[in-house]
Amino acid sequence: MQFFIDILKHNHLLLIFVVAGLGYALGHIKVKGFSLGISAVLFVGLFFGALDKDIRLPEIVQMLGLVIFVYAVGVSSGPGFFASLKGRGLAENLLAVGTLLFGALIIVLIKKVFHISSGVAAGLFCGSFTNTPALAAVIEAIKRSSLDDEVSQLASEPVFGYSIAYPMGVIGILLSFYFLQRIFKIDFVEEAMKFPEQVGGQRKIVNLTIRVTRGDIKGIKISDLIAHRQLRVIFGRYKRGNKLELVESDTVLDLGDLVTVVGEEADVMKAVELIGEVSNISIDMDRTVLDFRRILVSNKEVVERPIRDLKIPKRFRALITRVRRGDIEFVPNGDTVLELGDRVRVLGPRERMDEISRYFGDSFKAISEIDIVPFALGIALGILLGSIPIPVTHEIKITLGIAGGPLIVGLILGRLGKTGHIIWQIPYNANLTLRQLGIILFMAGVGTRSGFTFYNTLKEGNGPLIFFLGSFVTISAVSLAIIIGYKLLKIPFSIMTGVVSGIHTQPSALAFANQQSGLDSPNLGYATVYPVSTILKIVLAQVIILL
């Protein structure tokens, strides 16, 4: 055993892959339906770190993983984040503020009742809400306000509180997610169907052939019909007699025509009531004149532009009838903006399908590669933003750190999508890979660097008491936030798990939430509250040290 420990102490590369590999394998083991998922990497790191004080990955590994993860989340969540601020985003941020104020109040009460020092209490707050930038701000505040010979002793107090509370700060979130999901009997598949616009789910998309039997639509153009009746469908092809043609904006349907309609089931049935009746003849099976093909979007010239600007009907006499992004398929409209990695279903002339494919790119290789220039530039801008001191009072200055800065820059650049010839968006598949790599590096680094301190301080002094109090703060804050958000504010549970992960600024919890739900919606909740939560925790931690 000692031989193995000696190897891990001196071979950081081996340590990374041992922790990542074992953690990932353990994460897939289910016990009564529960699995740790990718978060198991953190616990394996804690185990190895506890074996010896020198078994720890360099801090740069943890920092690199965190920067990559939060930037990738920011870029993918940018459009949804800014859209959410117009609606439920305000409620989610108010919930985050209320939760953190509640946590700070509990810490102050604990400090008074159990006679805990201000330094330990501040560290307990930072650990319970798993925020390293807040801990760094507390230590910096101690350095500014203490004599040189006092700094070392006083600075160790928040580190002690933080190291005891942090691991359970992570575990407590995961346990709360798991048990509350079962208490509330959450079915994520059903939730995705019920709230497709909010959680990134989808309702069933159907393609029906309708026979025109309603005379009151005679003489009305398709574009006017869609606009006046607010139809959220796409008319594909129509057949009049033996002639099959593509439906265009100025097409006028006549009695007896057969026309195909694509959309969500409820919207298509609304079109049926307006136009006529469902036909048992499926004209979409006739591919002799008009054909369809699923095409991968890899041409940078067609992304980050509204579909109407591409002028597909005019350019190719074709239509985009569906877009698949990741695991979600939806019916586009003129405002829909394509992203690298999307798959579009195009209906058009059979002889022009190859030309249409070349226009969109249709290259797996192109979307598997990351454009390093915008990726590196975006992260560099984020790190710079995170290092800028922000004055709160004359005495207190805060920074967003390497987590907050890259996330905010990622959100902004993700919303912009494209600046000149620079495309900030990362292809969907590549983004998922970056997130996975980043979170594994982060959790392996945190686990190995916290393991030894966690194990030893837990055995000594008032370590068990601090551990219990930290667990109480974490679990009570998580439970209160979810109960208020899910039950009172009616926020979907999958989004609430992301909101809570953002309140705790905890990537491990976000990864667990994504894996449990199988949806991307936790990312949106996380990105919505993360900036406000980061800033407020830095401020509150320094307020606690002053009380």
- Give pLDDT tens digits for 51-66: 888 888 998 998 898 8
The answer, yes or no, to whether residue 154 has pLDDT greater than 90, is no
Per-residue confidence band for 46, with pLDDT thresholds at 50, 70 and 90? confident
Per-residue confidence band for 457, with pLDDT thresholds at 50, 70 and 90? low
- In this structure, are residues 480 and 496 in contact, taking their beta carbons and an 8 Å threshold? no
The answer, yes or no, to whether residue 147 has pLDDT greater than 50, is no
**CATH 1.10.760.10 describes domain 200-366:** no
The answer, yes or no, to whether residue 403 has pLDDT greater than 80, is no
CB atoms within 10 A of CB 90: 12
Of residues 19, 117, 147, the one with CA closest to residue 441:
19
What distance in Å separates the CA atoms of residue 290 and residue 457, rounded to the nearest whole number?
Answer: 72
Distances, alpha carbon 103 to alpha carbons 129, 175, 205, 476, in Å: 8, 18, 44, 9
Q: Across 2-16, 20-34, 73-87, which has the greatest mean pLDDT?
A: 2-16
State the pLDDT at residue 152: 44
State the pLDDT at residue 192: 66
Position 480, amino acid: L
Average pLDDT over residues 309-322: 92
The answer, yes or no, to whether residue 395 has pLDDT greater than 70, is no
Residues in the chain: 547
Distances, alpha carbon 499 to alpha carbons 139, 182, 524, 528, in Å: 27, 18, 8, 7
Q: Where do the structural domains in the chain lie, given as residue ranges?
A: 2-196+379-400+428-546, 200-366
State the pLDDT at residue 396: 62
Q: C-alpha dihedral over 149, 155, 157, 161, to 10 degrees?
A: -170
Backbone angles phi, psi at 252, to 5 degrees: -115, 120
CB atoms within 10 A of CB 410: 28
Considering the chain, what is the average pLDDT of its residues?
Answer: 84
The answer, yes or no, to whether residue 171 has pLDDT greater than 50, is yes
The answer, yes or no, to whether residue 474 has pLDDT greater than 80, is yes
State the pLDDT at residue 1: 73
